[in-house]
Amino acid sequence: MARYGVTIFPTDYSIQPVELARAVEERGFDSLFVTEHTHIPTSRRTPWPGGAELPKDYWHTLDPFVALSAMAAVTERIILGTGVCLVVERDPIQLAKEVASLDMISSGRVILGVGAGWNAEEMENHGVQFATRWKVVREKVLAMKAIWAEDEAEYHGEFVDFDKLWSWPKPVQPGGPPIWLGAQSKWAFDRVADYCDGWMPIGLSGGLEEGIEALRKSCDRSGRDYESIDRAIFAAAPNEEACRKNIDRGFTDQMFALPSKSADKVLPILDDLAELANKVR
């Protein structure tokens, strides 16, 4: 059965994490995903892929793991995820501990959506060059997986390098939470097959059918079992026809986007989306 959830830019002016998480679980959704941007450089050199003026949500977003921890404390069932965590901007040893701690606190309800980001200035502020960002993502993900799975983990790469270390807690989910790649370039599918557990494209960007076929081919080339890969749509079109079509395409999860607005604006939208989800399960 397909799973349905919601995603939001959690900000200082929108419905707050605790209220939202309770409302999402009460309405029968399966998941709640939050975004990440540590900051937005004021230079605005890199154009927003959305094409228009960058919404202020991007530089008012809460830290995702603080928000998700608050959500975990007041829920029991829903999956809690990042859509996406910009791993290029984070230390992998510290991030591995944050994610493992959240997985423990939530009793194994975490999905780590990852990406490289689009804002060159933002990642440069963290010491990462745009041209090598995907190499950095890969190494950091593999390093975290080693930390989660091994009692004495080590990793030696071009961008991540550490000798044997001890790090607890270990995640509740064996080997660590599922890692979903949030990207849609022609290289994304080989990356999913290489080091991820799921593919999470943005629904409004199109190319979903072509992406599914490309993912199948990448799995065949690498020897990965296509059916073992989660296939989730971030910001899915909120209508019955589109949802059913996505199920037919082979997507396992669909998350609807909520606006970064106050509770009195968000909760009625959440009611409508819950009704839609119940129709198409």
pLDDT value for 236: 96
- 229 φ, ψ (degrees, to nearest 5): -90, 125
Q: How far apart, in whole angstroms, are the C-alpha atoms of residue 157 and residue 165?
A: 16
Looking at the whole model, is its pTM more than 0.95?
A: yes
Which residues, other chains included, contact 131 with Cβ-Cβ below 8 Å and sequence gap of 6+? none
Model pLDDT, residue 50 = 87
Nearest of 10, 39, 179, 31 to residue 96 by alpha carbon: 179
Average pLDDT over residues 88-112: 98
Question: Is residue 281 very low, low, confident or very high in pLDDT (cuts 50, 70, 90)?
Answer: confident
Q: What is the mean pLDDT of the chain?
A: 97
Binned at pLDDT 50, 70 and 90, residue 52 comes out as: confident
Q: Specify the amino acid at residue 210.
A: E
Identity of the amino acid at 63: D
DSSP 22: H
Six-digit token string for 224: 């990965």
Long-range contacts: 203-211, Cβ < 8 Å, 24+? 203/233, 203/234, 203/235, 203/236, 203/237, 203/242, 203/246, 203/254, 204/235, 204/237, 208/233, 208/246, 208/249, 208/251, 209/249, 211/184
Encode pLDDT of 105-161 as tens digits: 999 999 999 999 999 999 999 999 999 999 999 999 999 999 999 999 999 999 999
The average pLDDT across 197-215 equals 93
pLDDT tens figures, 155-182: 999 999 999 999 999 999 999 999 999 9
- For the chain, domains (ranges, CATH) are 3-280 (3.20.20.30)
Dig out the tokens for 110 from the structure: 């975490």
